[in-house]
Amino acid sequence: MKAFDYKGAPGVLLTPEIVAMLSSIHEHKGKQELYIEAHADALTTLMEIAKIQSTGASNAIEGIHTTDKRLEELVRDKSAPRNRTEQEIAGYRDILATIHENYDYIYPRPNIILQLHKQLYSFGGSATGGSYKNSDNFIAETDAEGNQSVRFQPVPAFLTASAMDDLCTAFIESLEKSEYDPLLLIPMFVLDFLCIHPFNDGNGRMSRLLTLLLFYRAGYIVGKYISVEKLIEGSKDTYYEALQDSSTSWHENNNDYAPFVRYYLGVVQKAYNEFEERVEYLSDKGLSKPDRIKAFIDRKIGKVSKKEILEACPDISKITAERTLAALVKSGYLVKIGSGRSTAYGKTDKPGGSY
């Protein structure tokens, strides 16, 4: 049986690289409240965008997709789910809202995790929602030829309840002792949860919801404004590599948590960097809308898409963005790359740009 060592294992993780990442995130957290207080009204829009992105990205990682239009309608609660896919998306939406509004009162204990899992499947009436797996499961991988093999064998079904009890107890006790930074303990907990794989379905989505819950409870609420799930989706190959590296020899209590911890700390760092970039945009409120779009483009390295602009500048209409981009292309400041949905824009060496 796996022994959940939250007393000695975190200390091994305090390498110079990880300590530097922790220090960087602590600095970001120190600025967090100042940013939120200064831009409270405008950040409400960012929060709504993050909810849509988080719901879409976390489900997309598991192969659950819908159109952008339907996703927005579902997350904004303007439409009832029409099929099983939309039922699962709506379930995720509801848990995300619950966590956003009540994270201080949601404790990472087995009975709470079961309740959240039940809510994930509340629209479909699934018999598996809110219950641990009733048969052994496995994590598979498929090679280029389409051959499937077992990548990891999780805890067997009959040991799942006791493993979850032991995991939550060890994690909570370590948090309460305050010996180690929660930023170290949370990725360890998420990895152990995924290795237990306690449910027949929904383990990946539950792991990301628990990630947000635990970071929020520790005071790192950047996920409210920048979608952590979208950042994971955008780096999912690296995510799966880190998961593979850190789960090797897990059953033998000889796994290395460091790859998974580094990955998660990197995601949190990127989320804070994007958050502060959005706040910089908010400081440009005195500029005209075209100038604010250009200011956003000026801060970007590499290509930029219309979608990125609209996400960063939520009060600017699609038409205004299109007109500004067209004008910047005409002036020679930008060059259009690709066509259709894959269209992007790159900066040229020509300075300035007019509308």
pLDDT in tens, the chain (355 residues): 799 999 999 999 999 999 999 999 999 999 888 877 777 766 887 888 899 999 999 999 999 999 988 998 999 987 889 998 999 999 999 999 999 999 999 999 999 999 999 999 999 766 779 999 999 988 876 666 767 777 889 999 999 999 999 999 999 999 999 999 999 999 999 999 999 999 999 999 999 999 999 999 999 999 999 999 999 999 999 999 999 999 999 999 999 999 999 999 999 999 999 898 887 776 666 788 898 889 888 888 889 999 888 877 777 888 999 999 999 999 999 999 998 888 999 998 766 665 5
Which segments of the chain belong to CATH 1.10.10.10?
286-347
- Cα distances (Å, whole numbers) of residue 152 to 20, 32, 141, 243, 350: 31, 38, 9, 10, 53
CATH number for the domain running over 9-280: 1.10.3290.10
Q: Which CATH class is domain 286-347?
A: mainly alpha
Residues of the chain with CATH 1.10.3290.10: 9-280
CA distance linking residue 38 with residue 147, whole number of Å: 54
Long-range contacts of 272-276, Cβ-Cβ distance < 8 Å, separation of 24 or more: 272/25, 272/28, 272/29, 272/32, 272/222, 272/226, 273/28, 274/226, 275/28, 275/32, 275/35, 275/222, 275/225, 275/226, 276/28, 276/31, 276/35
Instruction: Please give the single-letter amino acid code of residue 44.
Output: T
Distance between CA 106 and CA 84 in Å, rounded? 27
> Exposure of 176 by Cβ count < 10 A (0-12 exposed, 13-18 middle, 19+ buried)?
exposed
Q: What is the pTM of this model?
A: 0.85
